[in-house]
Structure 1
Amino acid sequence: MPRSHAVALSAALVAGLLVGLSPSVAGPAHSPSIGQVFDQRAPALRIRTVARRLQHPWDVQQAPGGRLVVSERDRARISVVRNGKRRTLADLSKQVWVSGETGLMSLAVDPGSRTLWACHGSSAGGNHVQVTRWRVDEKWRTLSKRRTVISGLPSSSGRHGGCRLLLDRDSDALVIGTGDAAIGTNPRDLDSLGGKVLRVHRRTGKPMADNPYADASTDRRFVWTYGHRNVQGLAQRADGSLWSVEHGSYRDDEVNLLVRGSDYGWNPVPGYNEQVPMTDQSLPGTQQEAAWSSGTPTIATSGATWVRGSQWGSLEGTLAVAVLKASEMVFLRFDDSGSLVSATQPPALARFGRLRSVTSARNGDLLVTTDNGDDDRVLRISPR
């Protein structure tokens, strides 16, 4: 039996959930676009702009000493922001291939070892996407000891470059979510790195020993899950579980609970047929249903993080998901089994345009990048 965590939710049902009702709902099915709903028990939000005049900032991560590290996709620039001031840590414009949705994308930062990872386009040996690792000096002013962790993530025009990074708290794994490069055969081809979630050792780049195909001699040794379209977000829950967020076609953006070795059902062949379901249950084998789906139309979900800290009140323990097309943030609550319980969209976060990334600061604040292409910002969000 396929795992069925997708839940059918009408706007009225969502509103009922938010005021504490507990209606019974059945899956699998898709939830429609939620619309403007707000949990009246949620705290008021304090929203501060900590950096301006950015261009397509793809990611923001916290570094030591109150520093924030920010990537800009098209400029291929990594910046450090501190006390409201930005300075360039690295100009990678001569190293990064930029085309369409591909450029300098996700970052991961290990403050303890002053190590920084970046996922970016590369034209070395033909256009592709790769993950690179650097050491950072004590004052966070220079990068050195560059090393390629993994390369050959497929690319075509730059569409569906994907590439979100996450440092696993419970192991030495670097988790990598990838796009399918808009090539229909990639997602279910285990020897393609496109349309996958991968796990590699964060220092050596070798496959993690507990990957489902770790003993293979081909690229499938890096694969954790497959059958994805364009992974935009990765987040690790307090229980250690891994979750992904991905763009749908014209329907069904998805939040997925990642199960080792599982197929998430995107198979747009022949050609690149976007009329097929995001999770196609007619395929051989078992396909994992989404934990949440936008229904029709898509809202273009992107980065995500789990909300931590009692100061967040009723939003503590929700998954905060940045949204591009609908220009908002959605807070989704799932129960211990991964079934959707409620959703809320604070109106205060619907006035900044497209939201690309959301990550957690160490004190529980949310760090958010806008992606409007003109005077983009990094926002810091905390409950009042």
Structure 2
Amino acid sequence: MTRLVRTSLVLATALALAAPAGAHAPSATVTVDTPRAAAPTLQVRTVVRGLANPWDVQEGPGGRLVVSERDRARLSVVRNGKRRTLANLSKVVWVSGETGLMSLAVDAGSRTLWACHGSSAGGNHVQVTRWRVDRKWRSLSKRRTILTGLPSTSGRHGGCRLLLDRDSDALIIGTGDAAVGTNPRDLDSLGGKVLRVHRTTGAPMADNPYATASTARRFVWTYGHRNVQGLAQRADGTLWSVEHGSYRDDEVNRLVPGGDYGWNPVPGYNEAVPMTDQSLPGTQQEAAWSSGDPTIAPAGAAWVRGSQWGSLEGALAVAVLKDSEMIFLRFDDAGALVSVTRPQALARFGRLRSVTSARNGDLLVTTDNGTDDRVLRVSPR
């Protein structure tokens, strides 16, 4: 059911083919994966269906799941296989192209919900909004804008992923470049970035690289991104992003504070340039994984937790849109790629958008086919 890349020759060749243009090819010496338990057989169950472009799924309390639908601008609560509307946000969410009601973050204990969404208030842009949820998870109140002014034009590259930092009060926000070539390396643009703000106040985190600046760069954690679709925090506390490439080189990146990830599609919006352009001034951070040519359109991601996952424990599960699958990427402690696994059990549901690690270690996955979309629960057995 799965195929693990295990020999140094095969892995070195795969990595060399995936290297972005202009980058140095990886060394042909690759540490072979140490023996591990076999990859498990996967059980895939449909939790709910009848959705349209569900962008994210997060766990609430008491077995509840909270789901966002991009174009419907609808928040739903799913429990025991039944869906009910938590909020219709169509009056506050601007929907255009790839932009609408997108990523969610949920703190079940404080009944707090954050959403990243398009907004037309004061001109089209993307923003992050916070609400409180009532005790029965039936309504929202106390709306507050946490961060606004994330750039958007037509709605293209409006991808916005949220993640609650386990180790601080930070809300981490991955953004798209709005298909404007100057945004990714302009530190005072919020486009093409990973940002860190206080989850309650929206203030920049005090340990951000430019926290003392008076301009928008005070929110910036990393820059030089194209269109961030996924964020995940490893057990060691490190932050990782997933982003769409142009016609080549989708990327998984290990994030370092102040890091430049090398996307600079100028003049105009020149998508022929490398995703990680090593000809730029300064130091550019190479991707931990790259799709090579062509792209596969990876999206949401989550680290796999629990010994029940066998050889997949500790891998990064990445939902894939264009190639309609899920890939499991294993990295060593230093962040080097070790293996890639593509379970056939997850290659029969069409486009996959988001993946969230549930409290019991299961993976919660959304499909993104446009009609009769689902939330899936993936369990090892």
The answer, yes or no, to whether TM exceeds 0.5 is yes
In structure 2, stretches of 5+ residues that fail to align are 20-35
What SS does the aligned partner of 1:64 have? coil
Tell me the CA shift for residue 21 of structure 1. Answer: 3.3
Tell me the CA shift for residue 152 of structure 1. Answer: 0.0
What's the counterpart of residue 326 of structure 1? 323
- The alignment's TM-score, normalised by the length of structure 2, stands at 0.93
C-alpha separation in 1, matches of 2:173 and 2:5: 37
What's the counterpart of residue 7 of structure 2? 21
Say if 2:182 and 2:264, in contact at 8 Å, map to a contact too. yes
Q: Paired residue for 1:31, among 18, 29, 53?
A: 18
C-alpha separation in 2, matches of 1:29 and 1:284: 24
What SS does the aligned partner of 1:66 have? coil
What's the counterpart of residue 208 of structure 2? 211
2:167 matched to 1:170? Answer: yes
Q: Paired residue for 2:255, among 254, 258, 264?
A: 258
1:150-165 equivalent positions in 2, closer than 5 A: 150-165=147-162
C-alpha separation in 2, matches of 1:26 and 1:321: 22
Tell me the CA shift for residue 92 of structure 1. Answer: 0.1
Kindly provide the amino acid, as one letter, of the partner of residue 183 in structure 1: V
Kindly provide the amino acid, as one letter, of the partner of residue 223 in structure 1: V
What's the counterpart of residue 6 of structure 1? none
C-alpha separation in 1, matches of 2:363 and 2:311: 15
C-alpha separation in 2, matches of 1:164 and 1:375: 23
Kindly provide the amino acid, as one letter, of the partner of residue 80 in structure 2: N
C-alpha separation in 1, matches of 2:142 and 2:85: 18
What SS does the aligned partner of 1:113 have? coil
After TM superposition, which residue ranges in structure 1, 4 or more long, deviate above 2 angstroms? 18-32
Kindly provide the amino acid, as one letter, of the partner of residue 61 in structure 1: Q
1:77-156 equivalent positions in 2, closer than 5 A: 77-156=74-153
C-alpha separation in 1, matches of 2:53 and 2:83: 15
Say if 1:253 and 1:301, in contact at 8 Å, map to a contact too. yes
Tell me the CA shift for residue 22 of structure 1. Answer: 4.1
Say if 2:5 and 2:340, in contact at 8 Å, map to a contact too. no
- The alignment's TM-score, normalised by the length of structure 1, stands at 0.92
What's the counterpart of residue 242 of structure 2? 245
Say if 1:31 and 1:293, in contact at 8 Å, map to a contact too. yes
C-alpha separation in 1, matches of 2:276 and 2:103: 25
Distance change in 2, residues 1:358/1:271 (3 Å): same
2:341 matched to 1:354? Answer: no
What's the counterpart of residue 11 of structure 1? none
Say if 1:166 and 1:234, in contact at 8 Å, map to a contact too. yes
In structure 1, stretches of 5+ residues that fail to align are 1-13, 33-38
C-alpha separation in 1, matches of 2:367 and 2:324: 9
Distance change in 2, residues 1:246/1:256 (3 Å): same
Percent identity between the aligned chains? 83
Kindly provide the amino acid, as one letter, of the partner of residue 178 in structure 1: T
**Between Structure 1 and Structure 2, how many residues are aligned?**
364
